[in-house]
Chains A and B, each alone.
Chain A
């Protein structure tokens, strides 16, 4: 399982990256971030890019800072660095928690935040988190820079809004102020494996009333999805057991996940129900603790 040959460059600036992608546009060029998804595909020869542009020396892509109310994470920030980062813990604890579920620590040492988002695996954790937090994904391309809302970024399995020649440079995560509780939970058959279902939940309380709920699911569709019906069911309520159940049902009724050898549609729906319930309860209890 050896990868096919490719030409390679390791530039140091975003401009150079874009230039190389443009210059080699006919040769199926791709960027190489952490490689934790791309290299296995290449070892299987399912991906055969003719040109790889390695991003590891582009320092501009490794930023990690708070910009007012927004947490800015460079696309090449390693997942393990983000997981350990005090800035992330403070500004986006949902992201910090979700990162702990991405594969295994050795994968996270190489894997990048941007790489996972741009890869857009329907079972992946970070796309669901980006969706739940209404993140903006910033792309740079020949036409300049643009910020793409998460809700528009994930188009299909392994398909994003990035145009050919465009790369993700950073993700901008708005901070939840106030009494917000976070929860990321997921079900995988074996530890660290691809999840059948993941739930990213944020719940904000004012006194006992849910003022804001943001719930995204991974693994249940061809992209991460917001459980809008569940969010609406919870909003303005005290989120008692019956309401939570109603929210779970509202979400589950909208689901029709594709089945495969690891879980049929019914199994995935049952698990989604179970984990929605867990995620909502955990986010709620953390919101209650934060008041």
Chain B
């Protein structure tokens, strides 16, 4: 099948890939770009595990052809942390135990990014309704809601917290 050359700007870096039109965005991210942080859960657009941000909007990469994203800015979980420093969302998910198996986590984090970017001061109810788009089988959602609210608070600058470094010897809370 004929391949098309497309450009995806992923986490700020442009990549040109040559893909069949039918290749799903999630597979291009994972296989062509080696970014395996975005996961596949259902491949029919229900579970939200594959969520990435496309031009700052959450989309389900399992029901998006990569060619539909030609020229778009894509943000994935790999782009959240700043080197050793975790993004406040990642740090709060860690602190509040907003993950257990970690499989839904990247999609959940990207969706949470969008929720906070659209509303920097969401109530727990708004967060809960916002994340209803993403299934989690492990946590029962409660600690995720806590984590997102705490992260939003930090991102508003409500609380000064030192970033948690992620090497074990440094992270002695």
Contacts and interface: CB of A to CB of B under 8 A. Distances in A.
Given A2-B24, A52-B21, A105 B133 contact: yes
B143 interface: no
B59 A43 contact: no
A6 B67 CA distance: 12
Interface of B: 1-2, 4, 20-22, 24, 27, 43-45, 48, 51, 54, 57-60, 62-65, 67-68, 70, 111, 114, 129-130, 132-133
- Listed from nearest, the 6 A-B pairs whose CB atoms lie closest are A104-B133, A8-B21, A39-B63, A1-B43, A109-B57, A106-B58
Contacts of A54: 67-68
Contacts of B67: 8, 10, 54
A36 interface: yes
Interface size class of A (residues with CB under 8 A): 20 to 34
A106 B22 contact: no
B21 A7 contact: yes
A40 B130 contact: no
Contacts of A52: 21
A106 B68 contact: no
A8 B68 CA distance: 10
Given A36-B45, A43-B44, A6 B21 contact: yes
Given A7-B21, A109-B57, A40 B63 contact: yes
A228 B129 CA distance: 35
Contacts of B129: 191
A3 interface: yes
Contact of A106 (B2, B21, B59): B59
Contacts of A105: 58, 114, 130, 133
Given A35-B68, A105-B130, A40 B44 contact: yes
B14 to A, nearest CB: 19
Given A35-B68, A109-B59, A110-B64, A192 B4 contact: no
Nearest to B128: A191
A35 B133 contact: no
A1 to B, nearest CB: 4
A51 to B, nearest CB: 10
Contacts of B130: 105
Interface in A40-78: 40, 42-44, 52, 54, 56
Contacts of B133: 104-107, 192
A4 B58 CA distance: 25
B142 to A, nearest CB: 16
Given A35-B68, A43-B62, A106-B48, A5 B57 contact: no
B2 to A, nearest CB: 7
B57 A191 contact: no
Contacts of B1: 5
A191 B54 CA distance: 24
Contacts of B68: 32, 35, 54, 56
Given A35-B64, A109-B59, A44 B24 contact: no
Contacts of B58: 105-106, 109
Contacts of A110: 59-60, 63-64
A80 interface: yes
A205 B117 CA distance: 40
A7 B2 contact: yes
A42 B68 CA distance: 15
A242 to B, nearest CB: 36
B22 A6 contact: yes
Given A39-B65, A44-B44, A192 B57 contact: no
A46 to B, nearest CB: 10
A35 B44 CA distance: 11
A43 B62 CA distance: 9
A5 B20 contact: yes
16 contacts: A1-B44, A5-B21, A7-B21, A36-B63, A39-B63, A40-B63, A43-B43, A43-B44, A80-B57, A105-B130, A106-B58, A106-B60, A106-B111, A109-B58, A110-B63, A191-B132
Contacts of B62: 43
Given A35-B63, A106-B58, 4 more contacts: A1-B44, A2-B27, A8-B67, A40-B44
A35 B132 contact: no
Interface in A91-119: 104-107, 109-110
